[in-house]
Amino acid sequence: MTQASPTRRVRANGQYAREKILLAALGLFSKKGYAATSVRDVAGAADVNLAAISYHFGDKAGLYRAALHEFLDDVGDDLPAFDTPGLTLQELLRRYMHVCLRPLGMGKSALLSVQLRVREFIEPTGLLQSLTAERDQAYALLLGILTHHFGLDAPDDELEALAFSIFAFVGNLYSAQDHLAARRPELLEATDAAGAWEERFTAYAYAMVVVESERRKAAAHAIQRPD
């Protein structure tokens, strides 16, 4: 029988320790925040020594960045195109929701990583300015879809409010996932939870657009036929 070499065993053990540290850090950072979580706390939760954290991540900031990014490394792979000619508004909204909700199908660690990102927006550490850029790009994509649909050269106040409202309820699924998990865990844990939420949110967003369209028509009619 061929035995694994000591080098391979060390590498395997090292990778296992790294994953334990990262999972422990993700849980603690998500629950307590960056400032209230110490490297010693993470070491205790992962059952490793402080030197192991230093070896794999350098320092607390490096560990925090890894917790935010590594579980979502492939969330941007194979994204749908938004500039394909002839797409309906419903299809564009469905593609947008697909991008936003991909972490739901990537397991608990990815969900916690998104939750940690939401926390970073609320309690910014100053360590990850790139997250603000990612959020702004996602919002700009949605705003662009809606602006084009309404035939506007630039978004007005009401369109901005509509985009913000849609963007907010998608984000709330992640920021309030603990509440949802306590009440209806199956909504997050079902095999096709991501697909189900994609369909729901597409329908909700489309209904909001329809309401805004009717409001604009009513306002235009009132201007044309004043009392």
pLDDT given for residue 28 in this prediction: 95
**pTM score, whole prediction:** 0.78
The span from the CA of 123 to the CA of 21, in Å, is 23
- The CATH code of the domain that includes 84 is 1.10.357
Give every residue of the chain whose pLDDT is below 50, as ranges.
1-12
Name 90's Cβ contacts closer than 8 Å, sequence gap at least 6.
Answer: 202, 206
pLDDT given for residue 73 in this prediction: 63
Domains of the chain: total = 2
Mean pLDDT, the chain, rounded, equals 87
212 and 178 within one domain: yes
Convert the pLDDT of each residue in 133-156 to its tens digit.
888 989 999 999 999 999 999 999
DSSP secondary structure, 62-122, as one string = HHHHHHHHGGGTTTTTTPPPS--TT--HHHHHHHHHHHHHGGGGS-HHHHHHHHHHHHHHH
pLDDT given for residue 163 in this prediction: 97
Q: End of a domain among 70, 93, 117? A: 70
Name the strand (E) or helix (H) holding 137. Answer: helix 129-149
84 and 43 within one domain: no
40 and 87 within one domain: no
Q: Does the residue 1 lie in any domain? A: no
Among 179, 185, 198, 180, residue whose Cα is nearest residue 100: 198
Q: End of a domain among 46, 70, 94? A: 70
pLDDT given for residue 226 in this prediction: 61
pLDDT given for residue 9 in this prediction: 38
CA 92 to each of CA 97, 146, 151, 175, 199: distance values in angstroms, whole numbers, following the listed order: 9, 10, 15, 24, 12
Distance of CA 223 to the CA centre of its chain: 42
Domain containing residue 150 = 74-224
Convert the pLDDT of each residue in 191-225 to its tens digit.
889 999 999 999 999 999 999 999 999 988 888 76
Distance of CA 73 to the CA centre of its chain: 12
pLDDT given for residue 74 in this prediction: 56
pLDDT given for residue 78 in this prediction: 57
pLDDT given for residue 150 in this prediction: 96
195 and 88 within one domain: yes
pLDDT given for residue 8 in this prediction: 37
pLDDT given for residue 154 in this prediction: 96
90 and 32 within one domain: no
- 3 state SS of 128: coil
pLDDT given for residue 92 in this prediction: 96
Q: What is the DSSP letter of 226?
A: -
The span from the CA of 116 to the CA of 33, in Å, is 8
Share of the chain above pLDDT 90, in %: 53
